Structure 1
Amino acid sequence: MPTPKISVTMPCYNCGETVHKALDSLLGQTCGDFEVVAVNDGSFDNTAGILAEYARRDSRIRILSIEHGGVVAAANAAIKAARGRYIARMDADDESLPGRLEAQSRLLDDSPDIGLVGCRIRFGGCRESCAGYAHYVDWTNTVVSHEAISLNRFVEFPVPNPSIMYRRECVNEHGMYRDGDFPEDYELLLRWLEAGVRMEKVDEELLVWNDPPTRLSRNHPRYDVDAFYRIKSVYLARWLARNNPLHPVVHILGSGRITRKRADLLLAHGVKFAAYYDIDPRKIGHVVNGVSVVDRNDIPGAGEAFCLPYVGSRGAREDITDFLRGRGYELGRDFIPVA
C-alpha cells in the first residue's frame, strides 16, 4: 500500500455500539489520502468483529489487536503503527464531519510553523443533563489562535484530544502519551506547549464530540478535577519560573477553601504567596496559613505583582480579567488564569 498522508489513530475498547458511526464518518471524508489505525484494546464485546468487517470493506482501515492495557497503551500502539506524515486522533464514540481531515491537513500544509491543529467541535450530548460538559465545549470553541491556546492552557484543556492532528516530528521529538495519575491528553498538550510546539485551530466545526455515560473522562480517576490540578500545577510552576518577573512570589485571586486547596499545590514547587485577594467582606482581613486575605481593590499596581486568578465559578474569570486589565495588567505578562 502507498504511504498515506494522514494516519488516524483510534483506540477501541468495548465500543461495538458506536465504532461503526466513527468509522463511517472517516470513510465519508472529502480527503481520501489517509489510513485508520484502529487498536482493539482487548475488547470482549463485538468490537473486533465490527472492525474486521470494515477492514474487509476498505483497505485503508488497519487493525491492531493487543491485550487490554488501557487507553494510553492503545493510543501509543496506534501512533507507533501510524505511517502518515500527519497523525490525527479519533475516539471510537465520536464522529468526524466530512471536511475534517482535509481542512486540518491543509492548515498544516500551509503553515509550517504550526505543529498541532485542532478545530471547533460540536457537542453531541444533552445540553440540559450535561450542562457542564456543554459549557466546556462552548469555551474551547472560543480558544482558536496559538496565543489564546497558550495563554489559556492552565484554565482547562483547550484543544480536546479527539480533535487533534499533528506532524509526526512532534511525537518523535517530544514524546507520546505518558501513563500516570493524570489526564494523559492534557499532559501531552502541556508538555508540547512547554517545548515550543505552536498550536492552532481550524475555525470550523469539524468534530462531533459525543458524551456517553461510559466516556473515560467521566469515570476514570485520572480525569477527575484533582488530577487535572495536580498535573497543571507541575507545568504552571515551571511556566512561572520562566515568565514571572517576580518569581517565586505570586498573588492569588480568590481565597475560598477550594481556591486555596488548588493553589496550595504550587507550594511544593517553591512558589510563594504574597496575599489572597477577595471581594467578600466576610473573608477580607483573615490570615490563612500566614497569608493575608486582602480586599481586591488593594491589589498592587501593574508591574508590582504577578497574579493567578483561581476562581472558577461561571463568569468569575471574565470579571477578574476585566478588573485586572482595568488596573493596567496584561495577560501573560502580569497574570495568567488558572481556573
Structure 2
Amino acid sequence: MSASTPISVLLPVRNGAEYLPEAIASIEAQTYSKYEVIAIDDGSSDDSWFVLQEWASRDERVKVFRQGPEGIVPALEFARSEATGSYLARMDADDIARPTRFELQLQLMESDTSLAICGCAIEYFPPEKVRDGALRYQTWLNTPATPEEIEKELFVECPLPHPAFFMRADAIEEVGGYRDLGWPEDYDLLLRVWQSGGRLGKVSAVLMQWREAPQRLSRTDKRYALDAFRRCKVHHLVSAFPSAVNGVLIWGAGRVGKGFGRELARVGVPIMAYAEVNPRKIGQNIHGAPVLDTNEALRLRNVLHLASVGQEGARQTLRNLLSSAGYRELENFVAMA
C-alpha cells in the first residue's frame, strides 16, 4: 500500500454513461483527497468506457480496466485485486457521494479499530421518483446507529447499503472477498464479515445519495429477488447459530414466517412450532408443526426463536415480548423478515 493513497474506491460500471459524470464529480469533490479509483467497465455498450478513459487521462489517481460483461462480482473482485489501499470504498456509477463521505468514514474507522465495515445514512433521489416504499426503507436503513443496533437488524435486511460500504481491505481478504452464490453479494459479504468477528458501524450523517431508478440491478437481477434474500438469510442463520439444527420456533404464521419455514425445512432445520396471537390460527398445523399461543411458545426454551414478521411495529412488539420473558437477542432469538 502506498501511504499516500489509503483509500481504494471500487467502481464497477455497466452502461452508466448517463449518470457517471455526476458520480465522478462527487468523487472529485471529496474533502479527503488521498484515494485511488479502480474503475471496471463490465462490458458496457454505451459511452462508459470513453467517460472513464477521459477521467483517467486527467487524474493520475484513476485506473480504468475493461472486462466482460462478466457481472458485478467478477468486476468487484477484479477491482479489489488492483487496489492498493488499506481501505476499500464502494461507489456506484449512478450515485452521488457527499463531499465529506471519505473523510468521515475514514475518521470513524480510524477511531474504532474493531469496525470491519462502516456505512452511512443515505438519501434516495431524485425526489420525484422516490415512492413511499423507498422512503420507508430509507428510514429503516438510517435508524440503527450503533454496531449493536446494526447487528440486530442483520437478518431483517442488509442494514448497510452497498454503495456506502467503507471496508478494511484485510477484513475483506480474510473472508475471501465477494462471491456469487445466487443471492445478494453485498449481504453475503456483510454476514460473513460479521460472523468472522468484524463489527459493523455507521456514520449517522447522510453521506450518500442513492439513485432510485427502475433499471437498478437490485430491481432487475434474480439474485436480489425475495427468495434469494431468504436463502441467503437462512444459510447464514444456520452458520451463525448452530443450535438452529436442533429446531426453531417461528413467531408468525403469516407469509413471512411460513416462507422462512419452507426454506428452513428445505435445508434440514426442524420446525418445532409456530407461535401466533391470531386465535383462528392457534391450534392449526403447518406442515406438521403446531401453531401455539404466546404462553405455550414462551415455555419452549430449548430451541432458537425467530421473530419472523414483516411489519416493523409487530417485530418490535415481539422483541419486547421475548426480551421481557428472559430471551436474549442474537443468543436465543433472532429477528427475521
Aligned residue type for 1:300: L
Structure 1 segments, 4+ long, off by >6 Å, are none
Tell me the residue number matched to 2:185.
184
Q: Give the deviation of 1:172 after TM superposition.
A: 2.0
Tell me the residue number matched to 1:313.
311
Q: Is the CA contact (8 Å cut-off) linking 1:117 and 1:199 kept in structure 2?
A: yes
Residues 1:83 and 1:233: Cα distance change in structure 2 (over 3 Å): same
User: Which shifted more, 94-103 or 109-118?
Assistant: 109-118
Tell me the residue number matched to 1:19.
20
Aligned residue type for 1:14: N
2:254 counterpart (253, 256, 259):
256
Are 1:201 and 2:202 an aligned pair? yes
Map residues 1-339 of structure 1 onto 2, 5 A cutoff. Answer: 3-126=4-127, 130-241=131-242, 248-301=246-299, 303=301, 305-339=303-337
Q: Give the deviation of 1:322 after TM superposition.
A: 2.3
3-state SS of the aligned residue for 1:231? helix
Q: May I ask how many residue pairs the two structures share in their alignment?
A: 336
- Identity, % of aligned positions: 36
User: Which shifted more, 280-289 or 254-263?
Assistant: 254-263
3-state SS of the aligned residue for 1:275? strand
Deviations 1:195-233 (A, max 9, x none): 111221112111111111110000110001100000110
3-state SS of the aligned residue for 2:336? coil
Deviations 1:293-337 (A, max 9, x none): 122243224855531011113422122222223333332233110
Distance 1:11 1:86 in 2: 17
Q: Give the deviation of 1:131 after TM superposition.
A: 2.3
Q: Is the CA contact (8 Å cut-off) linking 1:118 and 1:200 kept in structure 2?
A: yes
Deviations 1:225-282 (A, max 9, x none): 100000110110122216x6xx612211011244212222122444222211112222
Q: Give the deviation of 1:12 after TM superposition.
A: 0.4
3-state SS of the aligned residue for 1:299? helix
3-state SS of the aligned residue for 1:84? coil
Q: Is the CA contact (8 Å cut-off) linking 1:37 and 1:78 kept in structure 2?
A: yes
Could you tell me which runs of 5 or more consecutive residues in structure 1 were left unpaired when the two chains were aligned. Answer: none
3-state SS of the aligned residue for 2:172? helix
Distance 1:225 1:125 in 2: 25
Q: Give the deviation of 1:63 after TM superposition.
A: 0.9
Distance 2:195 2:312 in 1: 28
RMSD over aligned CA atoms reads 2.0
Distance 1:121 1:127 in 2: 17
Aligned residue type for 1:332: L
Aligned residue type for 2:155: F
